[in-house]
A = this chain, B = another copy of it.
């Protein structure tokens, strides 16, 4: 996050799905946030009425913020979070599908990490440093659905860093096709998630539903905003996804076909010079810098580089010629910060800045 001092605000927000692994990241990242003040934590019925400290098996190494410990969990309904203006959703996709529209209808802005509405034509799939202008989709959404609130989504964690890097290349050279293979961290599967017996001394060469997301989501984010939603970018993807024994930080190996042949130096220069659009800069969670290119032969590495830019920066390395397409490289992005909770918060900040709350 930028060193800028942000004018303090005190916008009341709720976190729903607050006890899970992404919910915990929301709580941790919202601790001390200059604009947002958590006034409700919501969880499943089972936990209702308990304090957050009682109901939540905290799995982050940063301690649970003191203000959260004693907060009493409320149900995941608009009635229960009255007064909140923004809802951060860490719900699983099936629950999100049912519950998120209720909040939007009730006038709340739902910043969701769930996949349920990412493909809806009037729902922004948003990485502010990539497609800040897509936030305008919520004007269409409000008209079409008659909502006072809105639903904004952030992409799947594997698409996140990849799309930031692809955007920088697409802007400069055009992008046609990409082969991408992920080596994904365990925190992406939630808690308890992957059994230790399945991953110690092992790799799981499949993550259910992930490849379809990685092959589609970047096309929406790199697409053009039109009067009837976003026109998908004419880019084709092939994805393989793997789970590896890493706590946090997704690696993606990518080979890309561009609009023309480029040298690694040109590609690196395009990546290094990439800037977010103006509205997406100078926000409390804006990655600073947006993107780092490492020169070492063996970087980025998850354990060493995932916290670059407080976990919001996309880290690229090994930019080199590809014998089949044009350029190949490695991308690293923190999957529960930039790729999940941090991304939703950044989206909410853009919403505030654009006066769309």
* Residue numbers in B under 8 Å from A236 (CB-CB): 323-324
Partner of A196, one of B195, B305, B328: B195
> Quick check: A179 and B324 within 8 Å, CB to CB?
yes
Per-residue CB contact flags for chain A residues 265-304 toward chain B (1 = under 8 Å, else 0) read: 0000000000000000000000000000000011111111
Interface set, chain A 23-69, CB cutoff 8 A to B: 59, 61
Q: Identify 5 residue pairs between A and B in the complex whose beta-carbon atoms are under 8 Å apart, listed by A's number.
A: A61-B306, A183-B244, A191-B195, A237-B324, A240-B253
* Residue numbers in B under 8 Å from A251 (CB-CB): 203, 205, 242
Q: How often does this chain occur in the complex, in copies?
A: 4
Spell out A's residues near B (CB within 8 Å): 21, 59, 61, 177, 179, 181, 183, 186-187, 191-206, 208, 215, 236-238, 240, 242, 244-247, 251, 253, 255, 297-307, 317-318, 322-325, 328, 330
Docked CA distance A330–B303 (Å): 26
* Residue numbers in B under 8 Å from A240 (CB-CB): 181, 253, 255, 328, 330
> Quick check: A298 and B206 within 8 Å, CB to CB?
yes
Docked CA distance A318–B239 (Å): 12
Query: From residue A168, how far is it (CB to closest CB) to chain B in Å?
Result: 19
Assess A253 versus B186: contact at CB under 8 Å? Given A194-B195, A298-B205.
Answer: no
Query: From residue A330, how far is it (CB to closest CB) to chain B in Å?
Result: 5
